[in-house]
Amino acid sequence: MKILQIVPSISLIYGGPSQMVLGLAPALVQTGVEVTILTTDSNGDRGQAPLDVPLNQPIEQDGYKIIYFRCSPFRRYKFSLYLLQWLDNHGDEYDIVHIHALFSPVSSFAAWVCRRKNIPYILRPLGTLDPADLRKKKRLKQIYAAAIEKANIAQAAGIHFTSVEEAKISHRFGVTTRDIILPLGVNPGVCVGENSIRVDFGIGEDLPIVLFMSRIDPKKGLEILIPALENLIQAGIKFHFIMAGTNPQDPEYEQKIQTRIHTSSLRSHSTITGFVTGTQKSALLQAADLFVLPSYYENFGIAVAEAMVAGVPVVISDGVHIWSDVRNCNGGWVCHNDIQELTQQLSLALTNPQERQERGRNAREYALNHYSWSAIAQQLIQVYSDLISHNSRNTGNR
């Protein structure tokens, strides 16, 4: 089986949802299939230099191939005419195409090419069909959907949702397509040995560390989290808050949040690290006593899954679509997007260290069993096989 994965960018700047193909691809290869990833050299939307990678040629990596194409024209929108030309010339050499992102021009036109050439394809919307997301630039998205995305969804072999909740609430523009519900996978972080986070940031051993590690974005619920943490300080509850993340696409919002923290009672109880990766990211997860993400909407919540696999109990909103997993496995605390509710749940977690430890163990066990790339890859291969067989019956062997 030959599988083609298409994603607008895999730069770290765009976060876990884009990078998931780098976890999925080697897991698929382990099942014995051939995988190629097509992507662009996009590395940010505000004038950042593109990724320093070879272009227009396959690069062997962990058993699969990845081909980068230059963004041109419309670098701001991660569009690449070169990628689409390659797909038009070589797409029918593959059995199925897995396209990641909707309302992204290169993904939309990749689906159009697949439609025209009768290549079966799966769409993964990355939360873009969530009604809350569709309200952003609503009129433009309505036009975009009517012009191309509705037909792309209608003729897709399936839509890959990463949670039952995402599938349940997603808008389909009046068309019916097969739902494929498979979570994202996570890899256990590298053990960093002696963890110096507390020493590096001057955090006392008696202070539980509350970690927020995600993109600094309005949808992440920081306007709820900051007042909730201020409430805890006022109540005399001890903790140290670490905010790890950035947002090169919206530096004004990131600065607004930093200023809000620096001018509040949180100032002496907080550390802002900026973007983290590699061993520093692993060290933060190992040092954390509690992970918090009160997002307004999150189609999966890869950062939550990473915390869980690290054995960190989580406090999340029910806008994070794996909230039912967290509640069912008793791996943390779940609340509505409400300052008082979040304050209450954080207070419960911070004042019950034994309960935190128990829920952290539950979270890790669940994540290792359910967010394993190898298990997800095996399920996805079966889905691919079914869809390929169905397409062959309908159109004849290509």
Specify the pLDDT at position 49: 85
Q: Whose structure tokens read 């975009």? A: 144
Q: In the structure encoding, which two tokens stand for residue 35, read together?
A: 């995988």
What distance in Å separates the CA atoms of residue 332 and residue 201, rounded to the nearest whole number? 26
* Cβ count within 10 A of residue 350: 20
Task: Report yes or no: 328 and 359 within 8 Å, Cβ to Cβ.
Answer: no
Specify the pLDDT at position 278: 85
pLDDT per residue as tens digits for the range 123-173: 999 999 999 899 989 999 999 999 999 999 999 999 999 999 999 999 999
On the question of a cis peptide bond just before residue 208, with omega within 30 degrees of 0, the verdict is no
CATH code for 197-370? 3.40.50.2000
Of residues 305, 344, 342, 306, the one with CA closest to residue 322? 305
Task: Report yes or no: 187 and 23 within 8 Å, Cβ to Cβ.
Answer: yes
Specify the pLDDT at position 398: 45
What distance in Å separates the CA atoms of residue 334 and residue 346, rounded to the nearest whole number? 10
Does domain 2-185+372-395 correspond to CATH entry 3.40.50.2000?
yes
What distance in Å separates the CA atoms of residue 113 and residue 153, rounded to the nearest whole number? 13
What distance in Å separates the CA atoms of residue 214 and residue 292, rounded to the nearest whole number? 10
Task: Report yes or no: 309 and 331 within 8 Å, Cβ to Cβ.
Answer: no
Give the strand pairing for 64-69 and 59-61. antiparallel
Q: Do domains 2-185+372-395 and 197-370 have the same CATH topology?
A: yes
Low-confidence ranges of the chain (pLDDT < 50): 397-398
Specify the pLDDT at position 13: 75
- Would the pTM count as exceeding 0.75? yes
Q: In the structure encoding, which two tokens stand for residue 265, read together?
A: 């009672």
Q: Is 126 left (phi over 0), alpha (psi -120 to 50) or beta?
A: left
Specify the pLDDT at position 187: 79
Give the residue extent of every domain in the chain: 2-185+372-395, 197-370
DSSP class of 51: P
Task: Report yes or no: 68 and 53 within 8 Å, Cβ to Cβ.
Answer: yes
DSSP class of 137: T
